[in-house]
Structure 1
Amino acid sequence: MIVAPATRDLEILAGKMTQWLGERLPGAGDIRLTDFSYPKGAGQSHETILFDARWFENGAERAQGYVVRIKPSSFTVFPDNLFDEQYQLMKMLSDGGYVRVAKPLWFEPDAELLGAPFFVMEKVKGRVPVSHPPYAKSGWLSEATPAQRRHLWEGAVRQLAAIQRVPLSEVPFLAGPDHARDGLAQEWDKYTRFVEWVKDDPRAEILEAGRQRLLALWPKNQPEGVVWGDARIGNMMFDENFDVVAVMDWEQPSLGGALQDLGWFCTLSETMHGKTSQMGTYLDGMGSRDETVALWEEVSGKSAADLEWYEDFTQLKMACTGVRMDGMRGTQMSTADGLRVRLKLA
């Protein structure tokens, strides 16, 4: 059973969005919206729909691709609703030129039109290294040359590190509750609440044991910084030259510290194209964990000391999400023994 947000009648959506878009393009006439579709491999937490628009303005025909992203309602993977913050962060990153993201254009807080608030951003053209099937085993990245993969890997790490150049004064809206407003405390509070959120699952005791293990090994190095939240190559889009054109899926941002994303990125890289992948070795051309850490430190100007702890924290985060998704599927794909191994409890 695949868990994903509910879909909708795209013809009805086209009619609604035509009028809505016309109100935001006051000089446009004869607006025509076409090619509505759900992107392949997307939809794990947000309903996301692609479409194209054509119109006439000042006697000339114009065209633009768009993406509409709709706030989750009944389908919620995470305990925190950060939909507004997601849009604000993307707009700040785009306006400031800090990180390559799809340009956010409009935010609609009124739920009347689509049943929930939504925002629209420009559609970016490119290719995404998908997880299913694994990008290291099949598809365009597996068929690329080692030099092309090296170029892609370096660009990806540089964009990851560029997030840490964002001044925290630009993102006060990402602050957490009063008792955990920023830094490691904010991310720790989030996942402490996540463990509590899934407490009715029989594996919740394993999650709590993992949390207690991490608490006993609390890291000394806690550099400040913005958290992307799902830092991986599979959430980046690349052009034909293997350059990053967009960093995507900012749905769980915070001020939780620089090493949150690096820990997540390294963990997922090892799983998808590294030593713990199906191949058992690095995909030729893709940087190793040590190379990733070295380049990240060089570009970000921050220390990756104690990264192993943040990688273990990543495993707890992923375990929480897996348990939540299992509960939504009505299955238990993440076994108790598997969780113990992941959380270093066995």
Structure 2
Amino acid sequence: MSDVIVAPETRDLGELAGALAQWLAARMPHAREVWITDLAYPRGAGQSHETVLFEAHWREQGEERQQGCVVRIKPGGFTVFPDDLFVQQYRVMKALAEGGEVRVARPLWFEENPALLGNPFFVMERKTGRVPVSIPPYAREGWLKDATPAQRRVLWRNAVEQLAAVQRVPLDGFDFLAGPNGERGLAQEWDKYTRFARWLQQVEPLPILDAALERLRGLWPGNQPEGLVWGDARIGNMMFDGNFDVVAVMDWEQPSLGGALHDLAWFCVIADTMHGPASTYGAPLEGMGSREETVALWEHLAGKSAADLEWYEDFAKFKMTCTGIRLGHLRGAPMMDEATMAKRLKVG
């Protein structure tokens, strides 16, 4: 079960190795005899981008060298989100890697020409560690389930530290993340997901989404601290070493300048459903911080107030519902039943 591949699209890895070797050789003028080995799709994670791990080898100045790499390819037909933020994903990771406070894999090269792999792609360094995967759920089986409560406590604290570190990043130089009409702050995230809801309804009418938006609009939060949005903030998008410290914060495919509380809300909702009181995967994981502990630690480390977090959590559930509906459309899977959706969105 632990080696389930969930990549949205796959290809012949032998052909990919040859194409990448030629491409890398052109980008490393001092390299000789470039070759690629150990190509593999990640196990148990990654449902929107085709992502392939590999080892790059070459000779330089008479010595053999090696670099673990990851190639991330822009989605083609399997597009989960209406907004194309592939270039922004690369740029935000590059900026964060240069800043150093948020631990991300260092982007190495970007290729905008789709001729080689069918779509633009970028290559980044490969980090080594363990990820609490969603398939199978980490709360049901795997290394985190088998860890001690004390080890889980270390992991939780380190994860929240990185979550808060995102909110300490100065926003100077991130103007490229503004919305289509220059939106920033809550207005940007609100615009993104109201457009997402309209996009979904081109396939089928979903009045429940309109009702949920109306409800949220009527409860508009007063607390709107500025901040960078990671977009999919959860421990399942973090890699950890043997000491349960964070090696990398991953999957920056929907970044924005939408504000500090979106990621905290998303993190809390996911934590609750995956390993907390609302988990459907068994008893809560002892040692993982409660919602109250997570919020208190985040406020202390980020230096921002989490007032009105409940609104942002409801908005996060709306975002998750939109994403789930879209994934269902792509996979031909049945949508969540209306009663469950209404309860989740607090409408009806």
TM range (shorter): over 0.9
Alpha-carbon contact 1:3-1:328 (below 8 Å) kept: no
Distance in 1, matches of 2:46 and 2:247, equals 20
The 10-residue stretch of structure 1 (107-116 or 321-330) with the greater mean CA deviation from structure 2? 321-330
Task: Note the C-alpha offset of 1:4.
Answer: 4.8
Residue 32 of structure 1 corresponds to 35
Among 319, 339, 342, the residue aligned to 1:340? 342
Aligned residues between the structures = 344
What are the ranges of 5 or more consecutive residues in structure 2 without an aligned counterpart?
A: none
Task: Note the C-alpha offset of 1:200.
Answer: 3.8
Residue 150 of structure 1 corresponds to 153
Alpha-carbon contact 2:8-2:47 (below 8 Å) kept: yes
Residue 232 of structure 1 corresponds to 234
Residue 304 of structure 2 corresponds to 302
The 10-residue stretch of structure 1 (316-325 or 54-63) with the greater mean CA deviation from structure 2? 54-63
Distance in 1, matches of 2:89 and 2:138, equals 27
Distance in 2, matches of 1:289 and 1:168, equals 27
Establish whether residue 250 from structure 1 lines up as the match of residue 223 from structure 2: no
Establish whether residue 174 from structure 1 lines up as the match of residue 174 from structure 2: no
Where do 4+ consecutive residues of structure 1 move more than 2 Å? 2-6, 200-203, 278-282
Distance in 1, matches of 2:189 and 2:341, equals 20
Q: Deviations over 1:187-216 (max 9, x none)?
A: 000000011001145561111111111001
Alpha-carbon contact 1:66-1:120 (below 8 Å) kept: yes
SS in 2 for 1:17: helix
Alpha-carbon contact 2:137-2:281 (below 8 Å) kept: no
Provide the identity percentage.
65
What are the ranges of 5 or more consecutive residues in structure 1 without an aligned counterpart?
A: none
Residue 270 of structure 2 corresponds to 268
Establish whether residue 133 from structure 1 lines up as the match of residue 142 from structure 2: no
| TM-score, L = length of structure 1 | 0.96
SS in 1 for 2:130: coil
The 10-residue stretch of structure 1 (224-233 or 330-339) with the greater mean CA deviation from structure 2? 330-339
Q: Deviations over 1:64-96 (max 9, x none)?
A: 110000111211000000000000000000011
Task: Note the C-alpha offset of 1:3.
Answer: 7.8
Q: Deviations over 1:219-249 (max 9, x none)?
A: 0000000000000000000011111000000
SS in 1 for 2:118: coil
Q: Deviations over 1:254-312 (max 9, x none)?
A: 00000000000000000011010036753111000000000100010000000000000
Task: Note the C-alpha offset of 1:124.
Answer: 0.5
Distance in 2, matches of 1:271 and 1:336, equals 19
AA aligned opposite 2:316? T
SS in 2 for 1:153: helix
Alpha-carbon contact 1:282-1:288 (below 8 Å) kept: no
SS in 1 for 2:9: coil
Establish whether residue 91 from structure 1 lines up as the match of residue 71 from structure 2: no
Among 271, 278, 281, the residue aligned to 2:280? 278
Residue 79 of structure 2 corresponds to 76
Task: Note the C-alpha offset of 1:25.
Answer: 1.5
Alpha-carbon contact 1:42-1:48 (below 8 Å) kept: no
AA aligned opposite 1:211? L
SS in 2 for 1:302: coil
AA aligned opposite 2:129? G
Establish whether residue 124 from structure 1 lines up as the match of residue 132 from structure 2: no
Say what the alpha-carbon RMSD is for the aligned residues: 1.4
Distance in 2, matches of 1:146 and 1:101, equals 26
Alpha-carbon contact 1:78-1:321 (below 8 Å) kept: yes
